[in-house]
C-alpha cells in the first residue's frame, strides 16, 4: 500500500497565511506565461484554493488526491499542470481524463481547448450516445487530450484499430466517487492494465469513500492529498436561506402531474439542472422546491451557484413536514440557516392573483374549445370543396375511384 502524504489546509490558518494565499497568482504557482495569459482571457483573476494547493505539487511531478467542494475550480487544478507539461514535452495522446458523464466530459474538453487555444491543443471526447465511427476518426488524428467515460473508452481500446494508450503520460479520474458508484470498477481496472505504470495520476473526488481509497491504492504512487475544506461544506460566498411554507400552498410535483392527468392543466414549464457534473457559470439563485432526502445531495444542489469564487444564493422551501430533514442538513453543514425575508401579505396577494389567472385561463380555454366545436359543426361532415376532396383522396391512398355507371 502506497503511503499518502497529508497536505490539508488548517481549519483556521493565521491571517498572514490567508493574505499570502489571496495574493498568489498562477505564475506564482509555476504556471508558464502563455497559460497565465489564457487564464486572464478566461477571466480567472486568481487561483482558487484547490488550485493553490494542487498545481505546484502536480508541476513538481507528484500524484495528487484532490478533495474539494463543488465549484472549487478543480478542472483548472489538473488541466493547467497537464498543459504545462505538454508544452515542455509535446506528444500526442498525452493525457486521459476519465469522467462519469458525457456532460462533464464536454465541459472538461471545452476548458482544455480554451486554456490551450494559443498553443494548438486538440482534444477528443469519447462518450456514449455519439456515433462510434466519428469518434474513431477523431482518435485516428491522435489528439493531445482524450476525455472519456470508461465504458465507451473500453469499446475503442478493444475495437478501434490502431488506437492504444501505451505512451500515456497523465491519467485523471475526475468525480472518482461517481465513476465507482456507477459500477465502472471493471472498466477502470481494464484501463489501468493497458496504460503505462510510469505515469502521473490525479484523482479528484467530492468524497473519500472506501471504493475511492481502494482505487487510490491501486492507481497512485505516494500521492499527496490536497483537501481545502471539511468533508461536507458549502462555499463561503453562498448565502443560504430557508422559507417556511404551509404545505397546502406548495404544489408537489406528483400533484401537478395528477392535474395534467385530470386535464385540469395543459401547459407545463419545467427546468432541471443536474446536481453534480454540470458547470453552468452564471446561476445566481438555486431554489430547492423539495428538500433532498439525502442531506449530501443538498451540498451538490446548492453548489450549482457560487462557483469558482463567485457569489450566489440558495433558498430552500420548508413545510411543516420537512423540519427534520432540514435540521439534518443544518447539522451536516455545521450552521443554522436564516429565514429568507418575505412579506407574507404580498405573497398571499400573489397567490390570489395566480388563482384568478388560472380561473380566467380555464374560461378562455373552454370558450376557445366551444368556438372550434361550432366551426366544425358549421362546416358539416359532407364538405365537397376541392380542399376536402384532396384530403379524402390522401387518406384513401390515391385518387378516388370513379363511381360505377359513369
CATH assignment of the domain containing 35: 3.40.50.300
**Beta carbons within 8 Å of 173's beta carbon, 6+ residues apart:** 98, 179, 188, 201, 202, 203, 204, 215, 219
Residue 58 domain-assigned (yes or no)? yes
Residue 168 domain-assigned (yes or no)? yes
Q: Which residue has the higher pLDDT, 62 or 261?
A: 62
Residue 337 domain-assigned (yes or no)? yes
CA distance 97 to 109: 9
Number of domains the chain contains: 3
Whether residue 76 is found in the same domain as residue 206: yes
CA distance 370 to 194: 69
Whether residue 98 is found in the same domain as residue 243: no
CA distance 194 to 199: 12
pLDDT of residue 370: 84
pLDDT, tens digit, 9 for 90 and up, residues 3-31: 444 444 333 445 555 556 668 899 999 99
Residue 61 domain-assigned (yes or no)? yes
Range of 46-50, 269-273, 295-299, 372-376 with top mean pLDDT: 46-50
Whether residue 95 is found in the same domain as residue 157: yes
Whether residue 388 is found in the same domain as residue 290: no
Positive/negative CA dihedral, 88, 92, 94, 97: positive
Residue 232 domain-assigned (yes or no)? no
Residue 242 domain-assigned (yes or no)? yes
Whether residue 306 is found in the same domain as residue 361: no
Which band of pLDDT confidence, cut at 50, 70 and 90, is reported for residue 251?
low
CA dihedral of residues 87, 88, 92, 98 (deg, nearest 10) = -80
Whether residue 126 is found in the same domain as residue 191: yes
Q: Report the predicted TM-score, pTM, of the whole model to 2 decimal places.
A: 0.59
- Average pLDDT on 274-301 reads 70
Residue 351 domain-assigned (yes or no)? yes
**Beta carbons within 8 Å of 208's beta carbon, 6+ residues apart:** 65, 67, 177, 231
pLDDT, tens digit, 9 for 90 and up, residues 263-273: 665 544 444 44
Q: Quote the domain boundaries for residue 384.
A: 345-395
* Residue 360: other Cβ atoms inside 10 A: 9
pLDDT, tens digit, 9 for 90 and up, residues 351-378: 888 888 888 888 888 888 888 888 777 7
Three-state secondary structure call for residue 35: helix
Whether residue 319 is found in the same domain as residue 369: no
Which band of pLDDT confidence, cut at 50, 70 and 90, is reported for residue 240?
confident
The answer to which of 163-167, 253-257, 337-341, 344-348 has the lowest mean pLDDT is 253-257
Amino acid at each position: 500500500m502506497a503511503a499518502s502524504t497529508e497536505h490539508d489546509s488548517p481549519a483556521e490558518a493565521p491571517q498572514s497565511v490567508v493574505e499570502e494565499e489571496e495574493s498568489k497568482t498562477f505564475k506564482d504557482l509555476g504556471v508558464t506565461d502563455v497559460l497565465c495569459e489564457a487564464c486572464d482571457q478566461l477571466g480567472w483573476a486568481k487561483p482558487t484554493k484547490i488550485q493553490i494547493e494542487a498545481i505546484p505539487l502536480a508541476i513538481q511531478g507528484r500524484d495528487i488526491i484532490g478533495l474539494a467542494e463543488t465549484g472549487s475550480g478543480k478542472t483548472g487544478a489538473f488541466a493547467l499542470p497537464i498543459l504545462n507539461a505538454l508544452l515542455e514535452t509535446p506528444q500526442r495522446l498525452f493525457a486521459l481524463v476519465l469522467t462519469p458523464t458525457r456532460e462533464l466530459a464536454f465541459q472538461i474538453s471545452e476548458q482544455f481547448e480554451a486554456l490551450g487555444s494559443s498553443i494548438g491543443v486538440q482534444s477528443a471526447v469519447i462518450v456514449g450516445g455519439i456515433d462510434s465511427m466519428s469518434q474513431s476518426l477523431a482518435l485516428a488524428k491522435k489528439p493531445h487530450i482524450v476525455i472519456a467515460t470508461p465504458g465507451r473508452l473500453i469499446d475503442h481500446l478493444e475495437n478501434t484499430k490502431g488506437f492504444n494508450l501505451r505512451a500515456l503520460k497523465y491519467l485523471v479520474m475526475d468525480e472518482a466517487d461517481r465513476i465507482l458508484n456507477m459500477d465502472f470498477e471493471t472498466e477502470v481496472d481494464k484501463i489501468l492494465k493497458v496504460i503505462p505504470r510510469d505515469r502521473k495520476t490525479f484523482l479528484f473526488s467530492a468524497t473519500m469513500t472506501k471504493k475511492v481509497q481502494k482505487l487510490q491504492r491501486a492507481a497512485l504512487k505516494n500521492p499527496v492529498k490536497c483537501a481545502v475544506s471539511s468533508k461536507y461544506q458549502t462555499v463561503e460566498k453562498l448565502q443560504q436561506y430557508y422559507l417556511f411554507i404551509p404545505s397546502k400552498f406548495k404544489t408537489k410535483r406528483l400533484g401537478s402531474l395528477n392535474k395534467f392527468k385530470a386535464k385540469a392543466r395543459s401547459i407545463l414549464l419545467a427546468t432541471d439542472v443536474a446536481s453534480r457534473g454540470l458547470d453552468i457559470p452564471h446561476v445566481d439563485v438555486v431554489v430547492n422546491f423539495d428538500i433532498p432526502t439525502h442531506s449530501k445531495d443538498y451540498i451538490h444542489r446548492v453548489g450549482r451557484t457560487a462557483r469558482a469564487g463567485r457569489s450566489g444564493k440558495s433558498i430552500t422551501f420548508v413545510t411543516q413536514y420537512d423540519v427534520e430533514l432540514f435540521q439534518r442538513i443544518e447539522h451536516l453543514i455545521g450552521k443554522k440557516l436564516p429565514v429568507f425575508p418575505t412579506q407574507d401579505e404580498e405573497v398571499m396577494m400573489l397567490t390570489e392573483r395566480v388563482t384568478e389567472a388560472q380561473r380566467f385561463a380555464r374560461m378562455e380555454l373552454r370558450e376557445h374549445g366551444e368556438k372550434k366545436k361550432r366551426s366544425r359543426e358549421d362546416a358539416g361532415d359532407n364538405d365537397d370543396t376541392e380542399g376536402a376532396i384532396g384530403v379524402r383522396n390522401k387518406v384513401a391512398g390515391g385518387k378516388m375511384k370513379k363511381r360505377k355507371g359513369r
